[in-house]
C-alpha cells in the first residue's frame, strides 16, 4: 500500500480515551507498507498470536516482497512491529480485497489497531476500485468476527457469511473457515 498520509508519517503524542473509562498518554503507532526486513517480526507475531495458521518465514518474506502494496504494518514508538495485516486483490475479482491474515501483538490489543490497519489498507485501495472486503474467520474467533462486523457497520455495508473451506477440506481437526464478505462500499 502507498505510504500513509502526513498525519501518519510521524509518531504523535496525544491523549487517548479508552472505552470512555480512562484517559492516558499514548504514542500513536504509525502505519505503512512492510519492508522485506519486517518478515521475521511478522512471523513472530503470527507464531505468538495463538489463533493463526502460521506459515513459513519464507512465506512472510515473500509476501513483503510481492504484496507490500496490499499489506500494512503498524510500528510502535520504538519502531518495533505492533501488528500486521496481509491481503491481496483477488486476481479474478480485483474489486475485492481479501484479508489473508491480521494479527496484533499481545500488548497492543483492544486499542483499535486492527481496525485502523484495515481502514488504512482499504482506504488506500478504494480509489483503485476496491468495493468489497473479504476475510475468512473460524466460528470461535470472536475478536476477529467483531473486527469485521465493526468495519461493516462503520461503512454502513452489509456482511454476508458463508462457509468457504470446510473442516473436511482443511483437515487435522481445523474448524471451518467462514467467508465474511463486506460490501459494496460506497
Ligand atoms: C483479532 C485481532 C487482530 C484484533 O486486534 P485488535 O487490535 O485488538 O482489535 P481492535 O482493537 O481494532 O478491535 C476491533 C473490534 O473488535 C473488538 N474486539 C477486539 N478484541 C476482542 C475480543 N477479544 N473479544 C471481543 N471483541 C473484541 C473491539 O472491541 C472492536 O470492536 P468495536 O469497534 O465494536 O469496539 C487480535 O485479537 C489478534 O491478533 N488475534 C489473534 C490473531 C487472529 O485471530 N487473527 C484473526 C484471524 S486472521
Residue 126 lies in a domain: yes
Q: Residue 56 C-alpha to ligand 1 middle, in angstroms?
A: 24
Give a yes or no: residue 16 inside a domain: yes
Query: How remote is the CA of residue 145 from the centroid of ligand 1, in Å?
Result: 8
**74, three cell numbers:** 503498524
Please, what sign has the CA dihedral across residues 132, 136, 122, 114?
A: positive
User: pLDDT, tens digit, for every residue of 129-153?
Assistant: 999 999 999 999 999 999 999 999 9
Cis amide prior to 184 (ω within 30 degrees)? yes
Q: Which atom of ligand 1 is nearest to the CA of 136?
A: 48
What residue's CA is closest to ligand 1, atom 13?
A: 112
Centre a 10 Å sphere on the Cβ of residue 149 and count the other Cβ atoms it contains: 14
Q: Each residue of 87-113: pLDDT tens digit?
A: 999 999 999 999 999 999 999 999 999
| 112 CA → ligand 1 middle, Å | 8
Query: What is the rounded average pLDDT for all residues in the chain?
Result: 89
Q: How confident is the model at residue 75 (pLDDT cuts 50, 70, 90)?
A: very high
| CATH number reported for the structural domain that contains residue 171 in this entry | 3.40.630.30
DSSP 65-129: HHSGGG-EEEE-TTS-EEEEEEEEEETTEEEEEEEEEEEE-GGGTTSSHHHHHHHHHHHHHGGGT
Residue 1 lies in a domain: no
Q: Could you tell me if residue 28 is inside a domain?
A: yes
**Number of structural domains the chain divides into:** 1
Flag whether 141 is in a domain.
Answer: yes
Condensed to tens digits (0 to 9), the pLDDT of residues 9-42 reads 434 333 344 443 333 336 789 999 999 999 999 9
For position 12, what pLDDT does the model report? 38
Count the residues in the chain. 186
pLDDT for the residue 87: 98
Give the residue, by CA position, lying nearest to ligand 1 atom 12. 112
Q: How far is the CA of 103 from the centre of ligand 1 (A)?
A: 9
Residue, of 28 and 164, whose pLDDT is higher: 164
Q: What domain range includes position 84? A: 6-182
Amino acid at each position: 500500500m502507498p505510504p500513509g498520509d502526513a498525519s501518519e508519517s510521524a509518531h504523535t503524542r496525544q491523549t487517548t480515551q479508552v472505552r470512555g473509562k480512562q484517559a492516558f498518554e499514548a504514542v500513536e503507532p504509525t502505519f505503512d507498507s512492510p519492508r522485506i526486513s519486517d518478515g521475521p517480526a511478522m512471523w513472530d507475531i503470527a507464531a505468538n498470536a495463538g489463533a493463526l495458521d502460521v506459515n513459513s518465514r519464507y512465506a512472510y518474506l515473500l509476501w513483503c516482497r510481492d504484496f507490500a502494496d496490499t499489506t500494512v504494518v503498524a510500528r510502535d514508538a520504538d519502531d518495533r512491529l505492533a501488528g500486521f495485516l496481509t491481503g491481496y486483490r483477488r486476481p479474478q475479482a480485483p474489486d475485492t480485497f481479501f484479508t489473508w491474515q491480521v494479527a496484533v501483538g499481545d500488548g497492543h490489543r483492544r486499542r483499535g489497531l486492527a481496525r485502523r490497519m484495515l481502514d488504512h489498507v482499504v482506504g488506500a485501495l478504494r480509489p483503485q476500485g476496491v468495493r468489497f472486503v473479504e476475510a475468512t474467520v473460524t466460528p470461535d474467533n470472536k475478536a476477529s468476527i467483531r473486527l469485521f462486523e465493526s468495519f461493516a457497520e462503520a461503512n454502513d455495508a452489509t456482511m454476508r457469511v458463508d462457509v468457504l473451506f470446510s473442516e473436511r477440506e482443511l483437515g487435522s481437526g481445523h474448524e471451518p473457515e467462514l467467508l465474511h464478505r463486506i460490501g459494496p462500499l460506497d
